[in-house]
Structure 1
Amino acid sequence: MVRTELMNRLKHNWLICRTVAEVTYKEWSAYRTHSLVSVIVGPVYFMVQYFIWTAVYGGQSSLGGMDLPQMIRYFGATALIGYLIMDFADWNLSMLVRTGKFLTFHLRPIHHRSFALFQKIGHRSLGFLFEFLPCLLIFIFIFGVDMRPASLPWTFLSVLLAFLMNFYVNYTIGLASFWIIQSNGIRSAFMLVSGIFSGALIPLGFFPNWLQVVQFFLPFQYIAYMPAMVFTGHYSLGGLELSTQQAVGIQAMAVLITFGFSELVRRLAMKQFTAVGA
């Protein structure tokens, strides 16, 4: 009886997820030109990184524990992973709270965080087709970069965890809108810090050792650095060298902790909601 009820509930949630994702996919399909712009920006950013790091390495064989080919693959991986995990849940939630439109979601049988996650699945499905795949082909056939992951299953799992981590962190930032009217300052500050400490701009191996150790207790490295290093097949940080399985296991625990913290903040935020502006 309990098993049947659980299966029915999972089936119901799956139908909701598929429906919301499909609607979001169709809605954003009308703005495919936005994705096409990303296809230009991504390779240009990668090309800049390529020339910078080629000059930085000079005749040196290794920097920050990475040789030049590995560094090039690392930045190719971070660029592609960025297309798959991109998220705007914080901005969207802030807008809904500020305008009072969050009330319509608050009255629905599914709470907004799940709805936003399903939206992201649909939005990134579109990004996979119009951003990820074109850039992957550009990196392979124009830049000649080896974009084969060291382990496809583990890379897929790590990117999936990064997808969830980025969503839960951003959604938690968006929940600040229940306490303050304008959360743009918090969002901007977080984006700056995340860009630096996620490893998207510079590999974390170049930071001081103590700061590398601190990254294990912050969410940033689990968004870009860890999945990129899992892609390359060699993870090291703060003097620790972990196997792919160990790294993904730590990433999974970090996602669970972040989800728990997000749920706590969400429940506190619901007590603050007054539907002002509805």
Structure 2
Amino acid sequence: MFSYRHAFHAGNHADVLKHTMLIAILRHLTQKDAALMVVDTHAGAGLYRLDGDYAGTSGEAADGVLKLAMAVSPAGKGKPAALPDPAPILQDYLDMVAGFNKAGELKVYPGSPFIIQQLLREEARDKLKLFEMHPTDSKALAANIAQLQAGRQVAVARADGFEGLKAFLPPPSRRALVLIDPSYEIKSDYPKVSACIQDSLKRFATGTYVVWYPVIPRPEAHELPRRLKTLANQAGKPWLHATLAIGQGEGAVHIPGEREHGPGLTASGMFVINPPHTLRGALQVALPQLVNVLGRGRGQGQSLEASG
């Protein structure tokens, strides 16, 4: 049950998609004065070394954040960048990651907890609740968060995020963002995500719910976005669905115990219920750029659909 470690995959193409969208959503939600409650149901360790043993083993960041960062930088003396005019949300994402590194370096990658915390507002009394069940990652998460000295702004719990979320809906401020991105290492994660969304919409229908999932040859993975679409439509709530596929690459390395998320993962999706109205337009610019930069050949592409 606990073989999955996100450290192997930090900064890969799936993280680029997930965190680019997460930042864009948070930028919009924090424009309103009222406090925002953010819940990350599967937080991981929170902070990762791209030059460490885990990320170095898979090298997935090379086809993700590192490749994107290189594309927006000048190729050399007198040579233009491969992506000289990145979409604003991609530049925002790269600036966020750069903020965790020394100038000219990219050795540290912030997971969702650290990205979210960077965008929380003290004056608005925004709150972040983090759940992580993996024994090693939950310990690392608590230690990493402690370094922030964020006080009551951030709370960490070694508990089931699907169940723990229920206690925070609806939030006192009536404003919430929920990120759900389990490992999907076991088949039961897929129906758990659907059940969690169904329950959450009953408890707090106006919250913004963000679900990440892997696009893999498994019936449950293809059924999940269809199920989420049905739940959103039944609740009468708007939704947005984006996917990014980088295509087949050469030289994949198998990591023992990483059945679903090894370096062979070529595509992932994000489903958002109650998305910001600005998100679709921002992604229409960003997604084609991501395919152009990160695409590796056969099977590469992107899709974007939304209700209404």
Whether these two folds match at TM > 0.5 is no
Kindly indicate which of the two structures has a greater share of residues assigned to strand.
2
Q: Which has the higher contact order (CA 8 A, sep 6+)?
A: 1
Give the structure-2-normalised TM-score. Answer: 0.24
Kindly indicate which of the two structures has a greater share of residues assigned to helix.
1
